[in-house]
Amino acid sequence: MTVPTRITSCITILGLCAALAVAQDTTQKQTTPQPQTNTPQTPVTPQTQTTPQVQTAPQDAKQAERARKEKEKQDKKVAKEAERKAVQSQPTGEKVAMSGTAEQAVRQLDTERVQALLRSNTTTLERIFADDYANTNNSGEVLTKGQVMAEVKSGDVKYETITIDDVQVRVYGDTAVLTGRATVKGARKGQDISGQNRVTRVYVKQAGGWRLVAQQSTRIAQQ
């Protein structure tokens, strides 16, 4: 065999070997199983079953409501009775104050004072006048409660008519100032005291109600 022939044979053998190697590699790739990728599945959360709430029988609620209403009824009854007793135990001026304003109470009490003077009712005057009551009359005399009460009781002072108009009342907490014009017809110790006067009266709210603590009168000159 010549050299060229040997070279050609070697080349042929090498080509067959290369082809065989390629064929084997291809076969292995086809027969090798491909790994499978397992994607983890998201676990399904079971739905929570809502247990229906059992409605409490309304019997207990009705009983509680009835008990509450009954208690309110009793409380109102007790409060009303206490208020009634309190009003009955208070003087007229205080009763008016509870049902109206302080101004109305003072006006009412001043009207009672006028009626008591006309009737010489010392019981009512005793209740209206404060213990330290002072009366400055239109002659400039200052009379105490005891002196005024003594004159009314003895008849030294006697009024036929008393008319109060142009009345104004100003309230400052527990103090009220009443101003007005008084037209009187009467006598004191035999002397005529008829005429018109400008008057100022001071009422103070004390423990037992409104009381008259001071009064001042000024004669209006006749024209």
Strand 191-192 relative to strand 129-136, pairing? unpaired
pLDDT at residue 27 in the model: 52
Distance (Å) of CA 122 to CA 16, 145, 154: 156, 11, 10
Rounded to whole angstroms, the Cα distance separating 156 from 136 reads 17
157-206: pLDDT as tens digits: 999 999 999 999 999 999 999 999 999 999 999 999 999 999 999 999 99
All structural domains of the chain, each given as residue ranges with its CATH number in brackets, are 92-219 (3.10.450.50)
pTM > 0.75: no
75-130: pLDDT as tens digits: 877 776 765 555 455 555 554 444 459 999 999 999 999 999 999 999 999 999 99
Number of residues assigned to the chain = 223
